[in-house]
A and B are shown apart, each in its own frame.
Chain A
Amino acid sequence: MAKPRITEALDKLSSKKPIKYGVYSTAVIIFFALILLPPILGIIIKWNTMQQVLIKPELMSRALTAVANSFTIALFVSTIDVIAGVPMAWLITRGKSKWLNVLDTLADIPFVVPTAALGYSLLLFWSEPEGISSLFGSSLISPGWLLVTLLHFTFSYPVVVRVIVGALLDYKMEYEQASRTLGAPPLAAARTVTFPIIKPSLIAAFILAFSRSISETGATIIVAGIIFENGPVFIQKITDDFKAVPPRIDQFSYQGSLAFASFVLIVISLIIFGIIRILGPKLKLPIKRIWPTFERKLSYSKATLSRDSVTLLIFFAIILAPSLFVALPAFEAIFTETLPNAILGVSIWSEYWQSLILSYSLGAIVTVFNVIIGLPMAIIVARRKAGTLTSTVLDLLVNVPLIVPSIALGVSLKFFWKETFTFIPEMLLLIFAHLAITYPYFVRSMSAAIERIGVDTEEAARTLGAKPLGVFRTIILPLTKYSILSGAIMVFTRSVSETGATLAVVTTLRTAPVVIVDWVKQKLPVPVTPLEIGLGCGFLILFSFIILLALRLIVRGKGRY
């Protein structure tokens, strides 16, 4: 079949240098203009207001304590995540039971549950009388730092497991087999050969868990309680104080606190990320000493059975059961008048449905934008289109929004866009915020997929007469279409779950996670019952699950790209 004329014309145009570089330049300009610079400029704009915090030692101390809490929990949780995630990933990839496929799927469940719903589920499970506390007569874990730590462990655990499972599946088993044939028992083989080789993935898993913990806002607000504050909770409480009638904090202190906390969060995050990036490759795992007898004992029978049992116990008791506990009130609500009220949109449900529609529409819009502006950037990064040095720098910069706490990003974006362009509609601001947060997920996923396609494949197409756009259309796109879909899924779920940046940038629009947080914190004039919150969370989980399942079914078994 002949190529349509328009395609042919576009193909021809794409070989013209100004057009080619125009596309790439536009992608880079959009990245700087919409993703990278606004948060930085936002902080700079409000630089002066930070003095308001500096001259109030109490406020500054509170802000610094909150930020310190954020990093302490993030570092602790990420470390525990990797320690607990490795045996789980090992069990999933190396175990022989047919039930491991089920376990593999179950491990993804907390990933599917939007974090606001997850937060409420954990609150019910650990603190409320309906949960495990019913066995003890009193609240087992009260809202506060311990529950926040548990929450962060719960939602970052599946991410860590997924990354390590991927690394172990990609890992060339022959290294480990070689080690075994040379006399190493399984534990020594894993410790001295497998883990040093997959070390980059362990570091990546740590960074992802760390950034997720630093960024999480909605669920943290739900489980933080009255006294405990981390960075995002502090920012939200200051915002609540300012919005209260009458305000409990003046405008300058409010803006100063937000700018100060966001600035410190962003700077320390970047420093920690930089340190990990520089020191990570130099970090040597302890492999020089080998204890053959001791490691042999730990490699077989009782030791491995104990390890697997503890791993499964942690997963089911600390991750899965608390994550799904919200299903109980949701199920209970079905047999009361809560369900008909919800379906008919009575009272609070009218706003709930609107927020749900907003969340999913926003997720869809942000996903489409990401595909359009992220694809050229992914090609630049993967194929070093901007020269080796510039492309490497861009590669690094693309990660920045990933490690910047989302509420801090939201605060900076609000400062930038609302101060500079006062007329900007709130919906657009929301799109920009979600775009900034989700952009790295798509670009990272796509650039990795493009890197997997050999350059020679593209060169073969060029030598056969294909123009640059033709190569993209006929080679890159077909080979990466399922990565585009997976990247889109990540962007969509991240956007639907996002609370921190949303809370920071909007005043009237409310997404579903924001509504859930408000319900749990009883911020509405009418009281919201646990059954209503449970059902609200249930719908959110159900719809997210259906959408993800549909997308997963499309992606499933369609090749490695």
Chain B
Amino acid sequence: MQQVCLIRTRHRAKGGLTVPDVRIVNVTKKFGDIVAVKNVSLHIYDKEYFSLLGPSGCGKTTLLRLIAGLIQPDEGEIYIGDRLVNDIPPEDRDIGFVFQTFALFPHMNAWNNVIYGPKVKGFDMKKADTIGHEVLDMVRLHERLDAFPNELSGGMIQRIAVARALAAGAKTLLLDEPLGQLDAKVRNELRYEIRRMSKDLGLTAIHVTHDQSEAMAISDRIAVMKKGKVLQVGTPKELYMNPQSIFVAHFIGESNFLEGYVVNENTNEVSIEFRGGIRVSVTNKTVKRDDRVVLAIRPEVFIIEKGRKKSKNSMLGSVERVTFEGTNIRYEVRLENQDLVVIVKPSLVGEWFNTGEKVTVSFSSEKTRVFAYPDVGLREEIAVE
């Protein structure tokens, strides 16, 4: 017998075109003198799993609350689907919101929390019941429907909160650090479950997080934010492989930053001299001779070899610290010019190096990024607080 699946039917009713589902156009939000969101524009596509990523205080939660209608923008426009929603209250925006603290109603059991949305939207009780059972099946918590929030574990509360948001039948799911309060193990399991449910139901999901590994693991695209501005939007791979700013290179994954000056420029390559006279050549067209620059190199890009080796872009150093991290080994190498670089290598591949050992580190010029030295200084540029 074919089971009637109301929740899926309702969620999929609008079809599957890839068009902007949520559009944010030049939105600014101030709290007193503090500009929380500064002239932000974003397009989030239909059925996309989109993350807003950034350090605490970067404006990502404010942006999510603006989309939900919990606060109003000072400037700009927000569209959900085809509707301009600036003046539409949250209950009419057709969104589901999962709060960081989950905000399950403490005076209602799991079941009443879940069917609250269908009830307040005026569904008849039979339909509300069917939806309630469907979403509880999806989060596999049918056996705890009589439990009150204070009787559930953190993971269960999180799943009920997601179920409640899904049961309301919204096409857009907004998640404000939904995994932030959970244990690491539960967090890792649930992040994939949320994405799976969102994709199964064909929802547009906007997920706020400060955890770059979480965002990378679950997102179709990510917007990296800092101080109220969106610095870069892209797929996890684009952001990792091609960061457009020092902050993104620093915040997404890990990078070594080496400071120097451009001493020579050719058609496709520039030569950079670090302190101590070390010279390297990298592929770049944006910087010019005498520019002060920062070279960003991922830890896994470095090649590390014992002793002195002569090759392109090689530097001498000695291993200062070795940390075994399970999958990887992490080396901290002090270069001849006293700069410190971090190098990560798979622990089960290649040779290991010991503390104090003299080594040569080198890198491929195509796999590095060169940025103009920031006006505010490198330390300030990559600061996350």
A interface, CB within 8 angstroms of B: 172, 174-175, 177-186, 188-189, 192-193, 196-197, 290, 292-293
Contact A292 B116 (CB under 8 A): no
Contact A290 B101 (CB under 8 A): no
Cβ of B117: which chain A residues have Cβ within 8 Å of it?
Answer: 182-183
Q: Is B103 an interface position by the 8 A CB rule?
A: yes
Could you tell me the distance in whole angstroms from the C-beta of A293 to the nearest C-beta in chain B? 7
7 additional A-B residue pairs with CB within 8 Å, beyond A177-B99, A182-B165, A292-B120:
A172-B103, A181-B96, A182-B117, A184-B120, A189-B91, A196-B107, A290-B122
**CB-CB contacts of B74-106 with A at 8 A, as 1s and 0s?**
000000000000000111110111010101011
Please judge, given known A-B contacts A177-B90, A197-B107, A290-B119, whether A182 and B164 are in contact too, CB under 8 Å.
yes
Q: Is B319 an interface position by the 8 A CB rule?
A: no
Cβ of A290: which chain B residues have Cβ within 8 Å of it?
Answer: 119-120, 122
Contact A292 B89 (CB under 8 A): no
- A413–B121 CA distance with the chains assembled, in angstroms: 59
Cβ of A182: which chain B residues have Cβ within 8 Å of it?
Answer: 91, 96-97, 116-117, 120-121, 164-165, 168
Could you tell me the distance in whole angstroms from the C-beta of A252 to the nearest C-beta in chain B? 54
Q: Is B217 an interface position by the 8 A CB rule?
A: no
Range class of the B interface residue count? 20 to 34
Q: Is B186 an interface position by the 8 A CB rule?
A: no
**CB-CB contacts of B305-343 with A at 8 A, as 1s and 0s?**
000000000000000000000000000000000000000
Cβ of B96: which chain A residues have Cβ within 8 Å of it?
Answer: 181-182
- A186–B54 CA distance with the chains assembled, in angstroms: 32
Closest residue on chain A to residue B120 by CB atoms = A184
Q: Is B19 an interface position by the 8 A CB rule?
A: no
Contact A197 B91 (CB under 8 A): no
Q: B91 touches which one: A174, A180, A193, A196 (CB < 8 A)? A: A180
Q: Is B303 an interface position by the 8 A CB rule?
A: no
Please judge, given known A-B contacts A177-B90, A181-B90, A183-B168, whether A293 and B103 are in contact too, CB under 8 Å.
no
Closest residue on chain A to residue B99 by CB atoms = A174
Cβ of A192: which chain B residues have Cβ within 8 Å of it?
Answer: 116, 120
Q: Is B110 an interface position by the 8 A CB rule?
A: no
- A174–B97 CA distance with the chains assembled, in angstroms: 10
Q: B70 touches which one: A180, A197, A292 (CB < 8 A)? A: A180
Q: Is B68 an interface position by the 8 A CB rule?
A: yes
Please judge, given known A-B contacts A179-B120, A188-B120, whether A197 and B90 are in contact too, CB under 8 Å.
no
- A311–B301 CA distance with the chains assembled, in angstroms: 69
Contact A174 B90 (CB under 8 A): no
Cβ of B69: which chain A residues have Cβ within 8 Å of it?
Answer: 180-181
Contact A177 B97 (CB under 8 A): yes
* Complex A-B: 16 CB contacts under 8 Å: A175-B106, A177-B70, A177-B99, A179-B116, A181-B68, A181-B90, A181-B174, A182-B91, A182-B117, A183-B117, A183-B120, A183-B121, A184-B91, A185-B120, A188-B120, A197-B106
Closest residue on chain B to residue A293 by CB atoms = B122
- A180–B90 CA distance with the chains assembled, in angstroms: 6
Closest residue on chain A to residue B168 by CB atoms = A182
Could you tell me the distance in whole angstroms from the C-beta of A536 to the nearest C-beta in chain B? 46
Cβ of B92: which chain A residues have Cβ within 8 Å of it?
Answer: 183
- A196–B112 CA distance with the chains assembled, in angstroms: 14
Give 7 nearest A-B pairs by CB, closest first. Answer: A181-B97, A182-B117, A174-B103, A184-B120, A292-B122, A178-B103, A180-B90
- A172–B99 CA distance with the chains assembled, in angstroms: 12
Max chain B CB contacts within 10 Å: which of A177, A183, A192, A197? A183
Cβ of B121: which chain A residues have Cβ within 8 Å of it?
Answer: 182-183, 292
Could you tell me the distance in whole angstroms from the C-beta of B215 to the nearest C-beta in chain A? 22
- A264–B350 CA distance with the chains assembled, in angstroms: 91
Contact A177 B103 (CB under 8 A): yes
- A193–B89 CA distance with the chains assembled, in angstroms: 17
Please judge, given known A-B contacts A177-B70, A188-B120, A290-B120, whether A183 and B103 are in contact too, CB under 8 Å.
no
- A178–B70 CA distance with the chains assembled, in angstroms: 10
**CB-CB contacts of B104-141 with A at 8 A, as 1s and 0s?**
01110000000011011110000000000000000000
Please judge, given known A-B contacts A182-B96, A183-B91, whether A174 and B119 are in contact too, CB under 8 Å.
no
Contact A175 B168 (CB under 8 A): no
Cβ of A183: which chain B residues have Cβ within 8 Å of it?
Answer: 91-92, 117, 120-121, 168
Could you tell me the distance in whole angstroms from the C-beta of B246 to the nearest C-beta in chain A? 35
Contact A174 B107 (CB under 8 A): no
- A154–B122 CA distance with the chains assembled, in angstroms: 40
Cβ of B120: which chain A residues have Cβ within 8 Å of it?
Answer: 179, 182-185, 188, 192, 290, 292
Closest residue on chain A to residue B104 by CB atoms = A178
Contact B116 A174 (CB under 8 A): no
Could you tell me the distance in whole angstroms from the C-beta of B60 to the nearest C-beta in chain A? 17
- A433–B314 CA distance with the chains assembled, in angstroms: 90
Cβ of B165: which chain A residues have Cβ within 8 Å of it?
Answer: 181-182
Closest residue on chain A to residue B90 by CB atoms = A180
- A293–B107 CA distance with the chains assembled, in angstroms: 24
Cβ of B106: which chain A residues have Cβ within 8 Å of it?
Answer: 175, 197
- A192–B346 CA distance with the chains assembled, in angstroms: 55
Cβ of B68: which chain A residues have Cβ within 8 Å of it?
Answer: 177, 181
Contact B103 A185 (CB under 8 A): no
Could you tell me the distance in whole angstroms from the C-beta of B74 to the nearest C-beta in chain A? 14
Closest residue on chain B to residue A177 by CB atoms = B70
Cβ of A172: which chain B residues have Cβ within 8 Å of it?
Answer: 101, 103
- A457–B279 CA distance with the chains assembled, in angstroms: 56
Could you tell me the distance in whole angstroms from the C-beta of B231 to the nearest C-beta in chain A? 28
- A197–B106 CA distance with the chains assembled, in angstroms: 7
- A203–B306 CA distance with the chains assembled, in angstroms: 76
Cβ of A177: which chain B residues have Cβ within 8 Å of it?
Answer: 68, 70, 90, 97, 99, 103
